[in-house]
Structure 1
Amino acid sequence: MGPASSGARLAGRYMRRAVVTLVALLALLGTGIPTATARSGPEPAACPAAIATAATCFAGRDTTGAYYSIAIPNEWNGSLVMHAHGGPDLEPADSDPQRSADDLERWTVMVREGYAWAGSSYRRGGYGAEMAARDTESLRRLFVREFGEPRKTLLHGQSWGGNIAAKIAEGFGTDAKSPYAGVLLTNGLLAGGSRGYDYRVDLRVVYQYYCGNHPRPTEPQYPLWMGLPAKATMTEDDLRGRLQECTGYASSPTERSAVQQRKLDEILAVTRIPERSLESHLKFATFTFRDIVHNRLGGRNPFSNLGVRYSGSRDDAALNAGVERFAADRSARRDLSYDSDPTGAVSVPVLTLHAIGDPTVFVEQEAAYRASLAGAGSGGYLVQTFTAEDEHSGLSDAEYANSIAALSSWVDTGRKPTPHSVAASCAAFDASYATGCFYRPDYAPASYASKVRPRPGGTQWPALTAKRAERWRQQGDVGIAP
């Protein structure tokens, strides 16, 4: 029996078993997400419009409380793409029943290419790469139990999901032998948590030096590494108001005061953050930092800016003398590193796709990831591709389709692609998707330190290695609790 007929038979079995449930679900919720809070197996669900007639979709909630969505194309090629989504989403605190359904709608390109697709919402909101890795692997096992073993399983991570997928690629949360045949990382946060947020640490202190309103002098003071106090009531609207008050970032240049323009220019020059993503990065340095520090690390500080030399301002001496300085708690740094830092110890093909102008996860993170694999002796498993795009959350569908096909062919044939061969194969997919191919096969990113100021001397955290990670694991009670 071929993959297509196998997929149709599986879908038909579930349709017959749960037709009454499907009618009830669709009457209650058009997205097809189960409304019950009890843990449930996969039940039929409405597919996104783009694949409504081309696939059968399912939804449920696993034993950890994570909601999930699954799609099996009518013409199934027998392979499965497991998806790790980005974020982290801070709200709601529990698993978001809508998140995996939204992800499926975003990634119908994989289903249109013939792959079954499965994505978890994760068991809770907030930071935790290990938690998300385990929930992704748990969903893969659920898929195998319910629908059978795929011909091969590929793993895809986007944004923070790239960090999660990079950890899974090293066996994090899986059995000794990886069940994943290959990994696709797109616009991935691949430097890991212990250094991947350093530029937001720098933004937090530089912003406060120039603006002095986060917190205001009249408000209770707190160390900036925590983002916010645990019980602070600041909202995103409040933060936007303070950013606007100081820099006028939401106004046209002609509407900003001279003082606002000067402060905005100084902040952007020193932090090297694009103006259009300034608000987003400050939100991460506020609300995500609070989650990491208070909810995941028990109030301990994983961040340091000791020894960092800030430059690009009109008065670097005054800036460096005036910014807040702090050292990381070593145990907090260790736990964040263990949870999220790649060791580079992969043993399956890994293909990356990254927009050169990504304003959220800078393309230089790819250099950090390349160095991790080289240090682990795994560089031969990595192919990196880059495009001239300048967005973070989504790239061309033709490129996604092309990338998953290139990875799948690499797995099947053992022939490693090159950036040039991947770029050349994109046109065939663009004939269907008409979203463009923007590859730059000769591009190589500069070092991570060229974009994100390193933490020098004794405050520089050593790169996580597989041996160090294993030693910490054996010590027990390491990492961020799920």
Structure 2
Amino acid sequence: MLLPTPRLLHAAALLIPPLLFGCANVGEPPFAEAAPTATKCPQAVPSTARCLAGTDSKGAHYLIAMPADWNGHLLLHAHGGPFLGEATAKRAEEDLTRWAIAVKAGYAYAGSSFRQGGVEVRAAAEDTERLRRIFRAHVAKPKRTILHGQSWGANVAAKGAEMFTASTVGSQPYDAVLLTSGVLAGGTRSYDFRTDLRAVYQYLCNNHPRPTEAQYPLNIGLPAGAKMVQADVAARVDECLALDKPAAQRSADQQAKVQTIERVLKIPASSIQGHMNWATMHFQDIVEKRTGGASPFGNAGARYAGSSDDAALNAGVARYRADPAAVRRFAADTDLAGRIPVPVLTTKWIGDPTAFVELDAHFGETMKKGGSGDRLVQTFTSKGTHSYISDVTYPVLLDALLGWVEQGAKPTAAGIAAACPAYEARFGAGCSFDASYQPKPLESRVVARERP
């Protein structure tokens, strides 16, 4: 079906009462957060917009942008990553720069740096909800609030939509949820292949750690207190795989190892380095700071295939069992129940090498099991990158969500694909929705394993 145009949607918002999902954001308890102050907007934001910045009571920095032609709606953003280290105002500025399209489309924007770095989903969801309340208390009361999560932030947004509802905060805080390029299988499933990568890489390369260094279980990332940065990991990976060189300049042995990883783990060479970084420093953060020193990751029972000698590979890779208590702690923070009481729309580039498209298949099953399957619509694109698909992609999705909330017009992948070209005159070319695509199960991409 065709979606209504942005102008018609705006008119509908003024004329049609919110019958389907109720009136949100009333009767909330008193709020004592300080007001934000005026600040210069990033260059990517329209020059007619005004920006506000602040630091909340937990130490999270945030940035708000108000367009001159505000449509009355708020896009509340949860960023990806996560990044390690202290929270910085620069992070909030980078996010607004990337998502300036929301302001260009007439939406107010609010994004938090989160109070800390590291893999802690619930805390990030709390920081995002606190920012929503800051916006309402000190800036404006939006007609509708759309909670947006990007990449790892999609996990944050989905968890936040389950945590903060009418029953927990006194009124429904979010009218709809938009999840883009999402890590949507929860921490206990989404990171399995990174455990596999560490094990297969070590089997092939044996330099992380080196034989001369203290040995440790690969599923902890690094020992507690050990210091390593991305450049250190890259130096070891390039030493073995020469990812810093074109394929034609690698030795035959190096290229064979790269191809083994590509075939066994189903990731392109271009994403090996990024996943090795996450499987090193992020795993260390999780084990050292989130799960009591034990690892929630394991590869016991995993049977790898695609190498030149699978029997030797499976006999030679290191094996680890996930600690049951660590799994429970990590699941409580990151896994989803599929109980989201408002419309949810997702999109992902089919070729995403960072957050596999099969994660969306798992999320769809989670939503069905949690009783929210009828509140989910999933879309996929044939072009894009993990970090950003195209400018035009996001306004059409936001308008589709508003049409769903305000008119009860549940969108379809086909309807969104058909509506997109009409937005290109304003937002530029870039429509690539594939209405027929359906992702395969997660187990088709990431090998099954024993679980506690």
TM-score (norm 1): 0.85
Distance between the aligned counterparts of 1:254 and 1:55, measured in 2? 49
Distance between the aligned counterparts of 1:345 and 1:318, measured in 2? 44
Find runs of 4+ consecutive structure 1 residues off by over 4 angstroms.
none
* Aligned partner letter, 1:126: G
State the 1:168 CA deviation: 1.4
TM-score (norm 2): 0.90
* Match of residue 201, structure 1, among 195, 199, 203: 195
Q: How does 1:264-275 map to 2 (within 5 A)?
A: 264-275=258-269
Q: What residue in structure 2 maps to residue 433 of structure 1? A: 427
Distance between the aligned counterparts of 1:172 and 1:372, measured in 2? 18
* Aligned partner letter, 1:115: Y
Contact 1:308 1:455 in 2 (8 A): yes
Change (3 A) 1:177 1:311: farther
Q: What residue in structure 2 maps to residue 402 of structure 1? A: 396
Contact 2:46 2:103 in 1 (8 A): no
Q: What residue in structure 1 maps to residue 373 of structure 2? A: 379
Q: What residue in structure 2 maps to residue 7 of structure 1? A: none
Distance between the aligned counterparts of 1:52 and 1:265, measured in 2? 45
State the 1:54 CA deviation: 2.3
State the 1:84 CA deviation: 0.3
2:166 maps to 1:166 = no
Write out per-residue CA displacement over residues 349-384 of structure 1, whole angstroms, 9 at most, x where no aligned residue: 000010001110000010000000111221100000
Contact 2:46 2:104 in 1 (8 A): no
* Aligned partner letter, 2:76: M
Q: What residue in structure 2 maps to residue 122 of structure 1? A: 114
Q: What residue in structure 2 maps to residue 154 of structure 1? A: 146
Moved more, 224-233 or 125-134: 224-233
State the 1:148 CA deviation: 3.5
* Aligned partner letter, 1:453: V
2:88 maps to 1:107 = no
Q: What residue in structure 2 maps to residue 315 of structure 1? A: 309
State the 1:40 CA deviation: 5.3
* Aligned partner letter, 2:48: A
Write out per-residue CA displacement over residues 15-54 of structure 1, whole angstroms, 9 at most, x where no aligned residue: xxxxxxxxxxxxxxxxxxxxxxxx9530001112343432
Contact 1:356 1:388 in 2 (8 A): yes
Is the partner of 1:446 in helix, strand or coil?
A: coil
Number of residue-to-residue matches in the alignment? 419
Moved more, 379-388 or 69-78: 69-78
State the 1:64 CA deviation: 0.2
Distance between the aligned counterparts of 1:362 and 1:283, measured in 2? 17
* Aligned partner letter, 1:451: R
Q: How does 1:223-234 map to 2 (within 5 A)?
A: 223-234=217-228
State the 1:390 CA deviation: 4.5
Identity fraction in percent:
49
Distance between the aligned counterparts of 2:250 and 2:132, measured in 1? 52
Q: How does 1:438-449 map to 2 (within 5 A)?
A: 438-449=432-443
* Aligned partner letter, 2:423: F
Is the partner of 2:448 in helix, strand or coil?
A: coil
Q: How does 1:329-344 map to 2 (within 5 A)?
A: 329-344=323-338
Distance between the aligned counterparts of 2:228 and 2:202, measured in 1? 16
Distance between the aligned counterparts of 1:247 and 1:105, measured in 2? 34
Which ranges in structure 2 are unaligned for 5 or more consecutive residues?
Answer: 1-9, 11-32
2:121 maps to 1:132 = no
Write out per-residue CA displacement over residues 253-312 of structure 1, whole angstroms, 9 at most, x where no aligned residue: 232112111211112211111111110011110111111111222211111111111111
Contact 1:199 1:271 in 2 (8 A): yes
Q: How does 1:75-114 map to 2 (within 5 A)?
A: 75-90=69-84, 93-114=85-106
Write out per-residue CA displacement over residues 452-480 of structure 1, whole angstroms, 9 at most, x where no aligned residue: 11224xx2x6xxxxxxxxxxxxxxxxxxx
Moved more, 233-242 or 168-177: 168-177
Q: What residue in structure 2 maps to residue 468 of structure 1? A: none
Q: What residue in structure 1 maps to residue 229 of structure 2? A: 235
Contact 1:182 1:350 in 2 (8 A): yes
State the 1:346 CA deviation: 1.3
* Aligned partner letter, 1:167: K
Write out per-residue CA displacement over residues 315-343 of structure 1, whole angstroms, 9 at most, x where no aligned residue: 11111111111111111101111101111
2:60 maps to 1:56 = no
Contact 2:228 2:281 in 1 (8 A): no
Please tell me the root mean square deviation across aligned C-alpha atoms, in Å.
1.5
